[in-house]
């Protein structure tokens, strides 16, 4: 039994295929008036279905000598008397009309009807355009009928929505359809109730109950010459080899074939110097089969240029092309495509396509275009020229059918697949109701101090939820002023749900708290307790979150947890505002753990018993992922003031100078802070090669000054700090410091014409006199003792003066700039040398 069923199916398929192959332009002809009868008042329907009646027509011959009707614009007509239900089943609005026409010189400037129908007609406009008319609207084609020329016309209605005009087998124009096109072709030639008569010759009228294809139009039109039908590669196909066989069928009608040439173009019409000649001749059907090599990945179109001589006059030579070029893409062949036909919004989905690449080419730059958005895809070589292109994305929030396709490069050519579709179903997260009643999470309330259950109010809540990786999510908000013991939230799909929520809850006498958490839930209900703390049991604690340089940090997430009943519970959460502050309502009797986390900063976890109203938190920039030394190449900088101790109530020029010879600086600058972290001044610059940023700051009564200086390269922040201690100048009195300061100031001002050299000379003279005087008074003559005396005085005027003046060098200039206080060090070595020498004597 099964055997007969298989045979029946196979036979049906064979006949079906045969029917498809044999289908030609004659299928669907309802009425055909070729006018071969060429005389009399009746115009015969060629297949004997329904002869038409003529009125006052004259019979003539066309340019080929075939019979034709002559309308003289004086009431001549042919009436088909056809009713739609009798002959034509075209209720779907698909039909075709074909006819040949030679319009004469116009005898009127009004419109003239060629074909008349109850609801619509085909006519020529005052500008001789062929147009569709309905009595309400006229739709002219972009074509004017030439006078005294025979042409073949096809008018095709597609579902009554679009009507196209083809002239001599070539597409011309499309206009909107008319609703009554579905009513059938009950038409008469030049039978006008409006008195608008066509003038000219016509024959070969054919009515189809379907739309003809371009090839069928071409075939119907071509009644002489050589017909060219393109076979393979078929139109809009893909080939993946550099050598392709081009196959076309050439039909000699009234010409003998002399030669055929296959031409190849880029699809953008750029000429391509790749052609091949076919070895075909004759007066019957021939197949042009040629191979063209050297094809590389690109979009092409092709045609066969066929020439011949007239079979009854070899002196007449003509050539023909197929009416439409065939296009094909030379690229990778698609073997398999995998994706989920149906999924949910926000779900993470895989899209994969297996291809055989074009010979000698490796696919690169693969992308998935999903609903108009580009996503990167990975390319994996699985075997030889076989590759897998895969992308994973979180599906967007666009319900229904979504279109996507793949793209990749083969050399300079970008190949794109056809469109695929994926259906997305919606997801809903909401407070449980009659529609959505599978609770994923349930919230209840407890007093943190007593751990007794209580009512609570959700003053505000925001729920971001998704199924995939969170790149796409939906948001639900909920709030109420009512008090309930618990709140259940449900999800529409039986999938693992990720929730990122922020919920603010409170109760009468219990200040509002906030909990923020991201976690996953399933249809097994998760019970969560929200802890409330009464007004009498808690305090508000504000954390001031600052950068290492003391700037307030905005957007730092913070949460507070504490041990309740043996488990760690979240009792507060929040995000810092522009002032860097975040406030918690916490119990000062218990130890809490506070976590501070922000992008670009190391996470900080601190455990304290919060008894103060404010705390300062300093976060360090993330540096673990960056090789800081990488950003020191070519960087030189220096800081002033140089002394590490400054005077109070004194203005200093704080300077941060930097040069960068390797990197281009994004910015650089500094922040000046006092010892308690208060910002005193800032300055910055965006000069790429560096420069100096300065600020003159009065030290005031601060006890220390900190400069946090930084530079930014490619978005990477590098910072350091330097600190100055500020001494109270009132405590100095009038010691040597004042003397040294005045001495330097006055000599710099040129007192008695002195300069730095003469000042040094005076100091040398002073040292000389003092050492000489002490030797004279005390009788010291030991070289070691004298050397130590000289060292002590040198140190006084060099190192001591430097400290007093707050400069690098004192009153004795150093001959070697790289070594500060060189004279003192030099004298130290001499003194030690003399001492050792005397000890060894």
Partner 1 sequence: MAMNRKGQVFLVGLMLGIAAFMCAMVFIDPLADVITESRAVGQLDCSNASISDGQKSTCLLVDLTLPIFIAVCIGLAGAYVTAKFI
Beta strand extents in 428-538 (DSSP E only):
429-431, 439-447, 453-454, 457-466, 474-478, 486-491, 497-507, 510-521, 526-532
Query: For the purposes of burial, counting CB atoms within 10 Å of the CB of 242, is it exposed (0-12), middle (13-18) or buried (19 or more)?
Result: middle
Distance from C-alpha of 167 to C-alpha of 98, rounded to nearest angstrom: 10
CA angle 535–541–543, rounded 5-degree value: 160
Distance from C-alpha of 545 to C-alpha of 552, rounded to nearest angstrom: 6
- Select 472 or 774, whichever has its Cβ closest to partner 1: 774
Residue list 751-780, contact with partner 1 (CB under 8 A): 751-752
Distance from C-alpha of 718 to C-alpha of 612, rounded to nearest angstrom: 33
Element (H, E) at 433: none
CA 483 remoteness from chain centre: 46
**To the nearest whole angstrom, how small is the minimum distance from the Cβ of residue 748 to partner 1?**
9
- Select 770 or 786, whichever has its Cβ closest to partner 1: 770
Taking alpha carbons only, the member of 725, 736, 655, 661 closest to residue 697 is: 655
**To the nearest whole angstrom, how small is the minimum distance from the Cβ of residue 703 to partner 1?**
23
Residue list 687-716, contact with partner 1 (CB under 8 A): none
Distance from C-alpha of 657 to C-alpha of 654, rounded to nearest angstrom: 10
**To the nearest whole angstrom, how small is the minimum distance from the Cβ of residue 812 to partner 1?**
18
Which tokens go with 218? 């071409």
Beta bridge partners of 300: 266, 328
Distance from C-alpha of 363 to C-alpha of 687, rounded to nearest angstrom: 43
**To the nearest whole angstrom, how small is the minimum distance from the Cβ of residue 777 to partner 1?**
12
Beta bridge partners of 160: none
For residue 236, count other CB atoms closer than 10 A to its CB: 11
Give the pairing type, strands 614-619 and 581-586: unpaired
CA 246 remoteness from chain centre: 40
Any alpha helices (H) in 63-193, and if so which ranges? Answer: 84-87
Binding mask 714-753 for partner 1 (x = CB under 8 A): -------------------xxxx-xx--xx-xx--x-xx-
Cis peptide before 700 (omega within 30 of 0): no
Element (H, E) at 783: helix 783-795
Biggest CA pair distance of the chain: 163
Element (H, E) at 639: strand 635-640
Distance from C-alpha of 134 to C-alpha of 124, rounded to nearest angstrom: 13
Note whether 496 binds partner 1 by CB under 8 A: no
DSSP letters for 803-826: HHHTSSS-SS--SSTTSTTHHHHH
Three-state SS annotation for 724-751: EEEECHHHCCCCHHHHHHHHHHHHHHCH
Query: Total number of residues binding partner 1 (CB under 8 A)?
Result: 13
For residue 318, count other CB atoms closer than 10 A to its CB: 14
795: CB partners within 8 A, 6+ apart: 824, 827, 828
46: CB partners within 8 A, 6+ apart: 32, 33, 34, 36
- Select 324 or 744, whichever has its Cβ closest to partner 1: 744
3-state secondary structure of 44: coil
Distance from C-alpha of 701 to C-alpha of 726, rounded to nearest angstrom: 8
Distance from C-alpha of 641 to C-alpha of 656, rounded to nearest angstrom: 10
414: CB partners within 8 A, 6+ apart: 365, 407, 408
What CA dihedral angle connects 749, 754, 759 and 760, to 10 degrees? 120
71: CB partners within 8 A, 6+ apart: 57, 77, 189, 190, 197, 198, 199, 200, 201, 202
Distance from C-alpha of 229 to C-alpha of 285, rounded to nearest angstrom: 11
Distance from C-alpha of 646 to C-alpha of 643, rounded to nearest angstrom: 7
Residue with tokens 């360090």, as numbered in its chain? 620
Residue ranges binding partner 1 (CB under 8 A): 733-736, 738-739, 742-743, 745-746, 749, 751-752
């Amino acid at each position: 039994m099964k055997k007969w069923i298989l045979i029946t199916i196979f036979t049906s398929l064979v006949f079906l295929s045969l029917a498809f192959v044999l289908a030609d332009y004659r299928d669907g002809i309802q009425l055909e008036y070729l006018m071969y009868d060429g005389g009399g008042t009746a115009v015969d329907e060629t297949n004997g279905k329904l002869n038409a009646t003529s009125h006052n027509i004259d019979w003539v011959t066309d340019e080929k000598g075939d019979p034709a009707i002559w309308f003289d614009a004086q009431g001549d007509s042919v009436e088909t008397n056809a009713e739609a239900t009798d002959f034509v089943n075209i209720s779907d609005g698909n039909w075709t009309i074909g006819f040949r026409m030679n319009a004469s010189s116009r005898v009127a400037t009004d419109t003239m009807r060629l074909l008349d129908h109850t609801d619509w007609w085909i006519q020529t406009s005052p500008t001789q355009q062929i147009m569709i008319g309905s009595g309400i609207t006229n739709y002219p084609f972009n074509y004017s009928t030439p006078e005294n020329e025979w042409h073949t016309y096809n008018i095709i209605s597609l579902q009554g929505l679009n009507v196209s005009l083809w002239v001599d087998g070539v597409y011309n124009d499309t206009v909107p359809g008319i609703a009554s096109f579905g009513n059938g072709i009950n038409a008469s030639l030049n039978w006008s109730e409006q008195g608008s008569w066509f003038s000219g010759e016509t024959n070969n009228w054919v009515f189809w109950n379907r739309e003809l294809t371009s090839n069928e139009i071409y075939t119907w039109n071509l009644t002489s010459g050589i017909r060219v039908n393109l076979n393979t590669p078929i139109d809009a196909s893909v080939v993946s080899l550099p050598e392709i066989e081009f196959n076309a069928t050439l039909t000699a009608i009234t010409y003998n074939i002399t030669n055929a040439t296959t031409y190849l173009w880029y699809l953008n019409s750029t000429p391509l110097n790749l052609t091949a000649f076919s070895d075909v001749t004759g007066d019957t059907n021939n197949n042009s089969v040629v191979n063209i090599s050297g094809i590389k990945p690109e979009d092409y179109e092709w045609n066969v240029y066929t020439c011949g001589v007239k079979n009854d006059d070899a002196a007449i030579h003509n050539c023909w092309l197929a009416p439409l070029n065939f296009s094909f893409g030379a690229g990778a062949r698609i073997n398999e495509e995998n994706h989920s036909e149906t999924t949910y919004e926000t779900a993470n989905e895989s899209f994969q396509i297996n291809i055989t690449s074009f010979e000698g080419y490796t696919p690169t730059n693969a992308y998935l275009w999903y609903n108009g958005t580009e996503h990167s895809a990975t390319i994996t070589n699985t075997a030889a020229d076989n590759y897998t292109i895969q992308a994973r994305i979180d599906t967007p929030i666009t319900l229904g059918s979504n279109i996507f396709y793949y793209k990749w490069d083969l050399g300079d050519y970008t190949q794109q697949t056809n469109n695929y579709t994926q259906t997305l179903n919606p997801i809903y997260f909401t407070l449980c109701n009659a529609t959505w009643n599978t609770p994923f999470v349930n919230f209840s309330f407890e007093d943190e101090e007593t751990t007794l259950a209580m009512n609570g109010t959700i003053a505000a809540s925001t729920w971001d939820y998704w199924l995939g990786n969170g790149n796409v999510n939906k948001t639900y908000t909920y709030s109420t002023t009512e008090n309930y013991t618990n709140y259940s939230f449900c999800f529409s799909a039986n999938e693992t749900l990720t929730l990122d929520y922020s919920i603010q809850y409170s109760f009468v006498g219990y200040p509002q708290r906030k909990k923020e958490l991201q976690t996953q839930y399933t249809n097994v209900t998760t019970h969560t307790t929200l802890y409330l703390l009464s007004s009498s049991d808690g305090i508000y604690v504000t954390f001031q979150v600052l950068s290492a340089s003391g700037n307030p940090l905005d957007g730092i997430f913070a949460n507070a947890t504490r041990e309740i009943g043996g488990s760690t519970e979240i009792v507060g959460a929040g995000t810092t505002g522009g002032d860097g502050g975040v406030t918690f309502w916490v119990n000062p009797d218990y130890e809490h753990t506070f976590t501070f986390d922000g992008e670009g900063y190391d996470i900080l976890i601190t455990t304290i018993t919060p008894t103060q109203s404010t705390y300062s938190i300093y976060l360090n920039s993330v540096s673990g992922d960056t090789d800081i030394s990488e950003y020191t190449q070519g960087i030189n900088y220096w800081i002033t003031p140089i002394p590490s101790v400054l005077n109070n109530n004194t203005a200093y020029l704080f300077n941060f100078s930097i040069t960068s010879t390797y990197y281009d600086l994004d910015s650089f600058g500094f922040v000046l802070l006092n010892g308690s972290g208060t910002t005193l001044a800032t300055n910055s610059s965006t000069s790429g090669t560096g420069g100096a940023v300065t600020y003159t700051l009065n030290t005031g009564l601060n006890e220390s000054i900190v400069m946090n200086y930084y530079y930014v390269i490619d978005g990477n922040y590098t910072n350091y700090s330097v600190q100055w201690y500020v001494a109270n100048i009132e405590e100095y009195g009038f010691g040597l410091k004042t003397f040294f300061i005045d001495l330097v100031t006055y000599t710099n001002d040129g007192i008695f014409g002195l300069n730095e050299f003469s000042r040094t000379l005076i100091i040398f003279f002073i040292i000389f006199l003092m050492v000489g005087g002490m030797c004279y008074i005390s009788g010291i003559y030991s070289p070691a003792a004298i050397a130590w005396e000289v060292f002590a005085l040198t140190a006084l005027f060099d190192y001591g003066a430097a400290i007093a003046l707050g400069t690098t060098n004192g009153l004795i200039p150093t001959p070697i700039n790289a070594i500060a206080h060189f004279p003192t060090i030099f004298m130290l070595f001499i003194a030690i040398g003399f001492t050792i020498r005397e000890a060894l004597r």
